[in-house]
Every structure is written in structure tokens, then in C-alpha cells.
Amino acid sequence: MNHSANALGILDELPRAELGHLPTPIEFLPNLTKQCGGAQLYIKRDDCTGLAFGGNKVRQLEFYLGDAQAKSADTILITGAVQSNFVRLAVAAARKLGMGAHIQLEDRVPGKNDIYHESGNALLNNIMGATVYHYPEGEDEAGADAELHRIADKLREQGRAPYIIPLAPGHAPLGALGYVAAAREFIEQCETADLHFDRISVASGSGHTHGGLLFGLRALSSPIKVTGVCVRRDAKIQFERIKTRCTEIAELLQIDNPVLDDDIVVDDEFFAPGYGLISEVVRQAIEDVAYQEALLVDPVYTAKTMAEFLARAHKSSRQEKHLMIHTGGTPALFAYQSEFLID
């Protein structure tokens, strides 16, 4: 298999800040495999990337922060939900590299109590000393980015050098490069351990993780099926987002896009009742994997991915090997404690 730099374009020439504990391990899940009675189940522990509870965003931020350093930025600006893992890790990355952190939080999840707004990732942002702003709309990505630019203008007037990590599509997907690189890491691990997987399940939200991973695998000639589990939008909208993301990655890396429409698989069966909201089957997935494997998954991303992962395993042959990318999000569990309190 072609692991050369040429296969991934200019990936290794782009600035990158070393933030993560890489490579992350691939673990067999014996108890869940036995319980499901179908495919053999494995997990890639990207919740173990280090840096303030870790998660998939560490890989993405290596390229954003590398670019910020190359541009002599001294302050990072980012928008996300109240319990955004990306925001928490952007603050952590900024602090690690001696930068300021200005964050803009949106209320995307209705009906949440004070615990949700004050614990978990929100608490960690405060502990790390982020400057916090609030944006009233939860589905206005362009408007949120525009507000960040206004904040950045004020910081420049104060003599600061801000760097914006954008929310809306239409910008160079630097974050996705973290998972193009992760695809190479994964393939090398599989070859070393003589592992051959039939399918990968991964959360699909912004599209940086799903799109980057899929792009990297296909660029390196890997045919492994990748299912993106919808956590923010329905499958039809998410399909188009991933398709666009892969086109943008190809342009950024200056290579042909290896991803065909048939490669893009998205599943919204476990998305309801919506972003950041928990169905009974998702709640059960959280409890099952904690009980069976002492593995903690969060309500927003990894629990929905785990629900799809387990459901597919039940229907699959015992000869198949399935892998889930654990994208982290552990701190968000504390914001949902009222959902799990025992009377």
C-alpha cells in the first residue's frame, strides 16, 4: 500500500503543532463482542490523545494551531456549543502554546438546566481562563463567524494578533488534515498487527473527522467501508457536507479527490431526537459499554456512534471485524448527570 508523502499531497509540508499523544491504541472489545454475537469489535482510542481530556479535536487543532503559529498569532477565537469539545480543546491548545483564548458559545440544546451550562466542558473552559462570549443562534454558522471577526477586529485594536478557527463551511479544512494523517497512522497500525477491518464507524458532525478519515483511507488505496453516524444533521444534508469537505481537502492537498459518491455512507437512524439530545437506545448504549468494557462515551457524539456500531455488529457475520473511532467527549457526561441519576 502506498504510504508515501506523494499519496497525501503536501500534507507533510504544512505547519503542524505537536499537541497529541499519538499514535492512539486500537483495542479489542471482548465483552461487547460476546454480547453482540456478531462481528468482532474493536475501538481506536482517540479519546486518549492527551491534552485536557483528549478527543478527536486534538488531531484537528494540530493543523489549525500550526497555521496560527506560522502567522504569528497570539490569540485563538472559536465558536461552539456550550458543551463543545472542540472549544474546550482549542482553549487547551492555546494555553499549551502560550496563546490567549476567546470563545463564543451557542445554546444549541434546548431545555437544559444550570448543571449543563456550568459543568463539563463549560467548567473546564473557565478553569483554563478563556474569555467567554455568547451568540444567541445555534444554527447560524455564518453569523457566528461574522461575530468572531468583529471580536477579532477589537482585539487587533488592542494590539493583539488573533486567529479565527471558522465554524461555517467554505474555508480551507485544515482540521480535516488531522484525520487524513490519522488514516495513515491507522493503516500502519493494522499492517504491524496484521489486522484487517471490514468497516469503521465514526461520528459525523462538522465533517472534518469523517471526511478527513475517508479521504486519507482512499488516498492510501484502502477500501475499508466508513459509516458516518449523523450527530447534527440528517443523512441527506450530511452527505452533501462530506462530499464538499472531501473536495476541499483535495484542493488543500493539491491532489485529485479519491473519494467517490459511493464511498460516502451516512446513517441518521440514531440522530433523533436531535443534536445533544438522548434517546433511550443511546442512553442504553452509554450504560452498556460502561458496564461491559468500562468505556465511557458521551451523549452528543460517541454514544450515538456506539449505538449504530452495536446495532450493525448484531447483524454482521462473526468473521467480520468492525472498528469504531472513539472521538472523546468525556467531560460532557458530567453536564448530563441529571439524565443518569438513580432515584
Sheet holding 131-135, edge to edge: 131-135, 100-106, 75-81, 162-165
Asked if 203 and 268 count as a contact pair (C-beta separation under 8 A), the reply is no
Distance CA 17, CA 5 (A): 19
Residue with cell 448530563: 336
**Of how many residues is the chain composed?**
343
Q: Based on the number of CB atoms within 10 Å of its own CB, is 280 exposed (0-12), middle (13-18) or buried (19 or more)?
A: exposed
Nearest to 60 by CA among 88, 81, 89, 80: 89
Distance CA 46, CA 49 (A): 6
**Residues identified as active-site:** 84
Q: How many CB atoms lie within 10 A of CB 178?
A: 29
Name, in order, each residue with C-beta under 8 angstroms of 1's C-beta and a sequence gap of 6 or more: 187, 191, 220, 221, 222
Distance from the Cα of residue 183 to its chain's centroid: 14
